[in-house]
Amino acid sequence: MANGLRFGWLSPVIGNRWSDHQPIVMYQEQHILPTALPHFDSLWIADHFYGFDAKTDPFMEGWTTLTWLAAKFPDVLLCHHVLGHGYRPPALTAKMASTLQTLSGGRFILGIGAGWREDEYLAYGYDFPRPAVRFAQLEEVIHICRAMWTDPDPTFEGEYFQIHGAAASPLPDVVPPICIGASGEQIGLPLVGRLADIWNGSSRGTDDDWRRRVEIVQSAAIAAGRDPAAIEISTTLERALPEDDAQAAELLDFLAHKADLGVQHFVMDFGHPPTTEPVLRFVEQVMTPLRAQYHG
């Protein structure tokens, strides 16, 4: 885990009425990200096939978009927010990950989860079993990925998935960290504790809710013989960029409180800022003092 706080930028892949139906990520690639990303540690792209307002709104596919951005911006970590494992066969996911890890010079993080959007699964002809099954499948997917990233002739026999010599060469020099997006206290968070390098958890609810979720993750890690401190804690926040000093001070206090609760990697969804001016205000008045305050 990196020392100090890390900051991620989530670039929306949707195009909607607020962006004249141009995918926001395409606007940001030209006008925002060249200025923003030198200050951020990671870049995140959602994994859905259509939007949440109208299916006719453009919505860019996650792997293709992240690969395009990986070539455009060679100095930032890359992660999906997060892959629904059921959208792609496990061995294909592992192969795509090893390829992008190699092409990006070791910058890829596999962000993955059990999936939740039933209508999308069914629209595309994918099975959508009950949550316990989806999480059991996710656990097998993670084992398959790690086997394919480290073994030139891997075999895995699970209840749901099997591979027999599914090579993913060239094996990545840096095994991709795995970020699991989960918030369910009975199944998802214990899985995080057993297997994740990074946890992306919901910050919805009270501070006590958050502390309880962290405790579940850490207890599961200890029970699995892992050091809980090895799991980086991240959360995603949808916030507007500050437009003045007062808003910057308010956001600074808000993020500092989250950091006091244990958040180490903030994934920021700023929506569709039209210019870089508030981005630079966030960097100068929020990010920089926070990094200094929580430097490892």
Tell me whether residue 195 is in a domain: yes
Tell me whether residue 157 is in a domain: yes
Domain that holds residue 127: 6-293
**CATH number of the domain enclosing 17:** 3.20.20.30
Instruction: Count the neighbouring beta carbons within 10 Å of the beta carbon of residue 152.
Output: 11
Q: How many CA atoms lie within 13 A of 82 on its CB side?
A: 25
- Tens-digit pLDDT string for the chain (296 aa): 456 899 999 999 999 888 999 999 999 999 999 999 999 999 999 999 999 988 899 999 999 999 999 999 999 999 999 999 999 999 999 999 999 999 999 999 999 999 999 999 999 999 999 999 999 999 999 999 999 999 999 999 999 999 999 999 999 999 999 999 999 999 999 999 999 999 999 999 999 999 999 999 999 999 999 999 999 999 999 999 999 999 999 999 999 999 999 999 999 999 999 999 999 999 999 999 999 999 86
Give the pLDDT confidence score for residue 182 in this predicted structure.
97
Q: Is the four-CA dihedral 111, 113, 116, 120 of positive or negative sign?
A: positive
**pTM of the predicted protein model:** 0.96
Strand partners, 234: 200, 265
Tell me whether residue 48 is in a domain: yes
How many structural domains is the chain composed of?
1
| 8 A C-beta contact, residue 59 and residue 16 | no
Give the closest residue to 268 by CA, choosing from 223, 232, 235: 235
Tell me whether residue 1 is in a domain: no
Quick check: helix, strand or coil at residue 117?
Answer: coil
